[in-house]
Amino acid sequence: MSNMEQTLSIIKPDAVERNLENEIKEMFKINGFTILKEKKIQIEKSEAEKFYKVHETKPFYNDLCDYLSSGPIVVMVLEKENAVFGNRELMGATNPKDADDGTIRKKYGISIDKNSVHGSDSFENAKIEIDFFFKD
């Protein structure tokens, strides 16, 4: 049965800064994702705080929001069968040192903070995160 889904992906400042945008997009395409929408933007810290609100009680919240707003990012809507789970598999573990070979974070991630990509963690959050960046 078909389960076409969309998920939100962000290429984070560390990866944009190292000019990895095209290589990372290629990894999505090779793995069967269609990039339906994309834009390169820089967000305010206040917007990062809204985006990462689920993490507001975490000790790393402030640094995380400083970081996401520190430079240009590329936000994308990816589409594929089971896109949410598939994107999480392709990204690999949050901490690049725990990520499996062949994953984006293993290949490009520098640290748990500078882990190159974000991806929605559930179908519900994917809808919320896509609306956050692409509601018009």
Maximum CA extent, the chain: 42
DSSP 8-state assignment for residue 55: G
Q: Does residue 81 interact with ligand CMP by CB under 6 A?
A: no
- φ, ψ of residue 73 in degrees (nearest 5): -130, 160
- Residue closest to 124 by CA, chosen among 3, 4, 5, 36: 5
Note whether 68 and 51 are within 8 A (CB): yes
Which of these ranges, 22-30, 36-44, 112-120, 122-130, lies near ligand CMP under the rule CB under 6 A?
Answer: 112-120
Angular region, 8: left φ>0, alpha ψ -120 to 50, beta rest: beta
Active-site residue, selected from the candidate residues 118, 126, 129, 133: 118
Known active-site residue 55: no
Does 64 interact with ligand CMP (rule: CB under 6 A)? yes
Strands, DSSP E only, in the chain? Answer: 4-11, 34-41, 73-81, 117-119
79 lies in the binding site for ligand CMP (CB under 6 A)? no
Least Å distance, CB 81 to ligand CMP, is: 22
Q: Does the protein bind ligand CMP through residue 118 (CB under 6 A)? A: yes
| Binding segment toward ligand CMP, per CB under 6 A, in 17-25, 97-105, 110-118, 127-135 | 110-118
Instruction: Kindly tell me which of 38 and 113 has the beta carbon lying closer to ligand CMP.
Output: 113
- Catalytically active residues are 118
Residues forming contacts to ligand CMP in the complex (CB under 6 A) are: 55, 60, 64, 94, 112-113, 115, 118
